[in-house]
Amino acid sequence: MKKNSILTVDNLKVNFYTYEGIVEALDGVNLNLMPGETLGVVGETGCGKSVTGLSIMKLVPPPGRIEDGKVVFNIKNRTLNVLELEERILRKIRGRLISMVFQDPRSALNPVYTVGDQIMEVLLHHRRKILIKRIIDRLDEKIKEGKAGFLEKFYKKMLTIMMEDPKSDIIELTSKIPFLRGYKRLLKEEAKKEAINMLRLMRIPDPERVVDMYPHELSGGMAQRVVIAMALACNPEILIADEPTTNLDVTVQLQILYLIKRLREEFSSSIIYITHDMGVIAEMCDRVAVMYAGNIVELADVIELFKNPLHPYTRGLLESIPRPGQPFKSIPGTVPSLINPPKGCRFHERCSYAMEICTREKPKFIEVKKNHFVQCFLYQSKSSKKTR
């Protein structure tokens, strides 16, 4: 296990229990994310990349169940195994330390609340204290200058109590009296200001107007920016982006990709970028993990991967990118059903280099070159380094 990685996924196994049988969606996934880098996870539909993203946040929906493995967070010198935490603590982590951006912005946004309300919800949930502190500081200034009236002093008192103990009796009492509960309004206004700020950071034009709009009034690109704003509102350490630009037009996709690149620097987040588009991977990522049928089959730096793809599947993927003037090449066969997955290496039925051992045993995930990992028997003997 790498010491300085911010996130380590170790031998993650996830099964889905359906009517037709048990779908072995993830079969021992190994990943690690270094601080500040963008790790791409690429694969076709059904390979399990979305499930991996959800598992990292322990959000796998039933009938899925995480069977085995560890997801270890290494933040601020603390190590946490996400899969072992209880819901209460997880809720504090989600949105705050790890955030997720989903594929379809329309379904990620609640259609009956304005965009501003939804960003504010995230802010009020996670950054309440910071917001309150800001208001208190401002009120303090006013008091010092002698411009504060009785009401403001009262609000400051209330907010200070609220910061310590939001459920205290006095807060409950005053929140029922119309005149005295103005401090709550202050909090909301502060949150709204912060939301507008986030929208402006996303380069959304006219954010004061957009903050009161409903999701259906926005175009796809704008809606996706709002979702990204919600994800980054609390400055998370890790951002998981699950195909955020797949549903968008190609010019809008470019805008969003550049936005993410810029935010990467401003927010210094580490990003896991899930996609099926090799072009986007080449554009965005520092390292790439290739997934097939629930396994990570190859993991390498992006330039190295494109130059020297080792796993036959990676080679097939790169060759199937359409090139003008050349016939279309594809990988023969289809993705196997994960209900009764093939024994041994799950790719062996479609692999032109398949050997006898591939049908019996599953190859180990080993480092073949420096920082270049493959899960394939073609390279087993070559490696002298230990298993990760």
Partner 1 sequence: MEQNILLDIKRLKKYYPVLGGVLRRKIADVKAVDNVSFRILKGECFGLVGESGCGKTTLGKTIIRLLEPTAGSIYFNVPPEILEEIDKLENSKLRDERKLRELRRKYDLATYKGPKLNLIRRKMQIVYQDPTTSLNPRMLVKDIVAEPLIVQGIARGIEARRRVIEMLYKVGLTEMHLYRYPHEFSGGQRQRIAVARALITHPEFVVLDEPTSSVDVSVRAQLLNLFEDLRKDLNLTYLFISHDLSVVECIADRVAVMYLGKIVELGDTEDLYNNPLHPYAKALFASIPIPDPTVKRKRIMLTGEVPSPVNPPKGCRFHPRCPEAMEICAQKEPILKDVGNNHFIACHLFE
Partner 2 sequence: MKKEEKKEVTTGFRYRLREFKAGMGPAIKELKFTLRRIRQSPLSIVGIIIIAIFAGIAILAPIIAPPVMRDPYRIFRDGFGMEPRPPGSPVSEPIAREKGWTVHYFGTAQGQYDIFYGCIWGTRTAFRIGVLVVAISLIIGILLGSVSGYYGGIIDEILMRFTDVILAFPGLILAMALVIALPLMWEVDVGLIFLIAAAFLTPVIILRVRHMGGLGVLIGLVAALAITAYKFTIGLSPIWVWSLQLSRLDKVLIALALVGWPSYTRVIRSEVLRVKQEDYVEAAKAIGCSDFRIITKHILPNAIYSVIIMATLDIGAIVLTAAALSFLGIGAPEGYADWGQMISYARNWIFAGIENPWQYWYTFTIPGIFIFTFVLGWNLLGDAFRDILDPTLRRR
- Radius of gyration of the CA atoms of the chain, in A: 24
Segment 124 to 183, residues that bind partner 2, using CB under 8 A: none
In the complex, least distance from residue 221 CB atom to partner 1, rounded to whole angstroms: 6
Over 324-369, what HEC string results?
Answer: CCCCCCCCCCCCCCCCCCCCCCCCHHHCCCCCHHHHCCCCCCEEEE
User: Of partner 1, partner 2, none, which one sits near residue 205, judging by CB under 5 to 8 A according to partner kind?
Assistant: partner 1
Query: Is 15 an interacting residue with respect to partner 1 (CB under 8 A)?
Result: no
Options 255, 349, 357, 388; binder of partner 1; rule CB under 8 A: 255
Q: Say whether residue 62 binds partner 2 (CB under 8 A).
A: no
Complex with partner 2: residue 21 or 279, whichever CB lies closer = 21
Q: How far is CA 138 from CA 22, 141, 192, 370, in A?
A: 58, 5, 16, 54
Strand partners, 247: none
* Residue 45 touching partner 2 (CB under 8 A): no
CB–CB of 373/299 below 8 Å?
yes
Q: How far apart are CA 277 and CA 274, in angstroms?
A: 9
Cis peptide before 236 (omega within 30 of 0): no
Closest CA to 300 of 382, 369, 387: 369
Residue 20 interacting entry, from partner 1, partner 2, none, C-beta within 5 to 8 Å by type = partner 2
Q: Whose Cβ is closer to partner 1: residue 189's or residue 249's?
A: 249
Q: According to the binding rule CB under 8 A, does residue 18 interact with partner 2?
A: yes
Does 148 help bind partner 1 (rule: CB under 8 A)? no
Of residues 151 through 170, those in contact with partner 1 by CB under 8 A are none
41 or 278: CB nearest partner 1:
278
Note the Cα 322 to chain centre separation in Å: 29
Tell me which DSSP letter residue 240 carries.
E
**Closer residue to partner 2 in complex, CB, 15/114:** 15
Residue 19 binds partner 2 (CB under 8 A): yes
Stretch that binds partner 1, among 23-31, 109-117, 161-169, 279-287 (CB under 8 A): 279-287
Distances 341 to 24, 33, 348, 352 between C-alpha atoms, Å: 8, 28, 11, 19
Q: Does 276 bind partner 1 (CB under 8 A)?
A: yes
Binding mask 293-322 for partner 1 (x = CB under 8 A): ---------xx--x---------xxx-xxx
Q: Per rule CB under 8 A, is residue 219 in the interface with partner 1?
A: yes
- Convert residues 322-351 into a mask of x (bound to partner 1 by CB under 8 A) and - (unbound): xxxxxxxxxx--xx----------------
**Binders in 203-222 for partner 2, by CB under 8 A:** none
Least distance from partner 2 to the Cβ atom of residue 17, Å? 13
Residue 139 sits at the vertex; the CA angle it makes with 138 and 145, to the nearest 5 degrees, is 95
List, as one string, the DSSP characters of 77-122: TEEEEGGGS-HHHHHHHBTTTEEEE-S-HHHHS-TTS-HHHHHHHH
User: What stretch of H or E contains 152?
Assistant: helix 150-164
Q: Which residues bind partner 1 (CB under 8 A)?
A: 44-45, 205, 219-222, 249-255, 257-258, 276-283, 302-303, 306, 316-318, 320-331, 334-335
Q: Which residues bind partner 2 (CB under 8 A)?
A: 18-20
